[in-house]
Structure 1
Amino acid sequence: MRQKPIHPAMQPFLDGKVILLNKSLEWTSFDAVKKIRILTGVSKVGHAGTLDPLATGLLIICTGAFTKKINEYMAQEKEYTGSITLGATTPTYDLESVPENFKDIAAITEQAILDATHSFKGEIYQIPPIHSAIKQNGKPVYLAARRGEDIKLEPRKITINEFEITEIALPKVYFRVVCSTGTYIRTLANDFGKALGVGGHLSALCRTKIGDFSVKDAYSIESFAEEINNLKTQS
């Protein structure tokens, strides 16, 4: 992508910057990258780790020369908060598809929920969701999944350093997870419901940290747009 002339105040973004963005609900990670390109006029922009459209929270966006650091940021430990709804599964493991396979959760106790976290801590093997952007034969597997094709993905080793239940308000269970890169939280939600024998799916997700970066320090897209406008008008 050829770089067009930009506003002089945007030169630092062309040289290279790290932008912490609090991604809005229903935005894709690409939507956020595209918006940054439009606001700054810089063509070389990328993100360090996809967030699904129904997830919110910290998205690290790199511009200019800092795009070389993307893999470094992606490899860092991540923290998430969110909720798992017990008693039903979904094909996508989250609310991008309709809940099904409903089961009674009346017998599920608070202690059973707390105990179920133990088997998901430490180094574990996790099978990624078939409705994901992982590629097989050069194409994202979610395309084949949507066509109803039979897909088999190999388990991947991940590390979950912390899996804390922060609140129980059945059918929802609220959590905080600290994990390695490559961890699918919606797979964790599905597997957690399976371990309890009633099924479950991810009903909310927010990425709160990537390494030392925190969502508390992130711009909303609106506040970033205002910052850019101020920089352009002041110069």
Structure 2
Amino acid sequence: MTAEDFQNGQILLVDKPLQWSSFQAVNKMKWALKSKLGIRKIKIGHAGTLDPLASGLLIVCTGKFTKRIPELQGQQKEYTGTFYIGATTPSYDLETEIDATFPISHIDDTMIERAVMQFIGEIDQKPPVFSAIKKDGKRLYEHARAGETVEIAARKTTIHEFEITRIALPEVDFRVVCSKGTYIRSLAYDFGKALQSGAHLTELRRTKIGDYHVDNAINVADFENTLLP
């Protein structure tokens, strides 16, 4: 594709690696477009942030197609991953250390399947305290890292599908299809409570956004290699 193609607008499917922020992935692609194609200025952005500890589908829009970002962000998303049952962390994932442990000897497959049914449909969900949502002019993770306690309001979100794909306690693998704004970390925390235990998220991969699938995505290095100077 030419510089003009990217200026006119492209939708690029990227498989974001672990440990990269969504901003880093987009920035790397922007630098590649500028350095390899000689584009001095180009609009580029992504349709939905993925945490550094999550991998998978990131939709990147360039040029005139950046106007489509709100529409793409609003589509339902599919995730796969792993919950660790029997322990919680303040961030609800592996960003922070375990702060409490809970028994799991009472949990069986039937209890897990019953717990799943509690989360299908519209639910009230509180975002994690370690999230980028703003409260009193600061992001929640800034409050959390400063040791400040803030009251977080629950939000309506919809879980369209919630399937357990492997049970090997303390690990439980899942597949979730959900609406925009759903926090899988919060789902992990709430799922642990529903099991009369605790849980946190140890692995997360976004596999779909609307009709776009990660199987059709490329990694950032491959994207750079497709750009001929």
Residue of structure 2 in register with 1:20 after alignment: 13
TM-score, structure 1 length as denominator? 0.92
In 2, the alpha carbon distance for the partners of 1:138 and 1:211 equals: 32
1:81-120 to structure 2, matched below 5 A, reads: 81-120=80-119
Residue of structure 2 in register with 1:165 after alignment: 164
- Residue identity over aligned pairs, in percent, reads 53
Shift of 1:131: 0.7
Shift of 1:139: 2.1
Matched, 1:150 2:143: no
The amino acid of 1:175's aligned partner reads F
In 2, the alpha carbon distance for the partners of 1:227 and 1:97 equals: 38
Which residue of 25, 28, 34 maps to 1:35?
28
Shift of 1:94: 0.3
In 1, the alpha carbon distance for the partners of 2:23 and 2:42 equals: 13
Where do 5+ consecutive residues of structure 2 fail to align?
A: 35-40
In 1, the alpha carbon distance for the partners of 2:42 and 2:198 equals: 44
In 1, the alpha carbon distance for the partners of 2:169 and 2:152 equals: 31
Deviations 1:160-217 (A, max 9, x none): 0100000101110000000000000000000000111110000000000000000000
Deviations 1:120-163 (A, max 9, x none): 00011101111100011332111011111111111111110100
Residue of structure 2 in register with 1:4 after alignment: none
Deviations 1:50-86 (A, max 9, x none): 0000000000011111110000000000000000000
The amino acid of 1:26's aligned partner reads Q
Shift of 1:43: 3.3
The amino acid of 1:139's aligned partner reads K
Residue of structure 2 in register with 1:211 after alignment: 210
1:164-203 to structure 2, matched below 5 A, reads: 164-203=163-202
Shift of 1:23: 0.3
In 2, the alpha carbon distance for the partners of 1:49 and 1:139 equals: 20
In 1, the alpha carbon distance for the partners of 2:29 and 2:223 equals: 9
In 1, the alpha carbon distance for the partners of 2:62 and 2:138 equals: 27
In 2, the alpha carbon distance for the partners of 1:130 and 1:152 equals: 9
In 2, the alpha carbon distance for the partners of 1:17 and 1:140 equals: 31
Where do 5+ consecutive residues of structure 1 fail to align?
A: 1-7
SS in 1 for 2:105: coil
SS in 1 for 2:87: coil
SS in 2 for 1:104: coil
The amino acid of 2:20's aligned partner reads W
In 2, the alpha carbon distance for the partners of 1:103 and 1:141 equals: 26
In 2, the alpha carbon distance for the partners of 1:165 and 1:95 equals: 21
Residue of structure 1 in register with 2:37 after alignment: none
RMSD: 1.1
Matched, 1:141 2:134: no
Deviation beyond 4 Å, 4+ runs, structure 1: none
In 2, the alpha carbon distance for the partners of 1:32 and 1:179 equals: 24
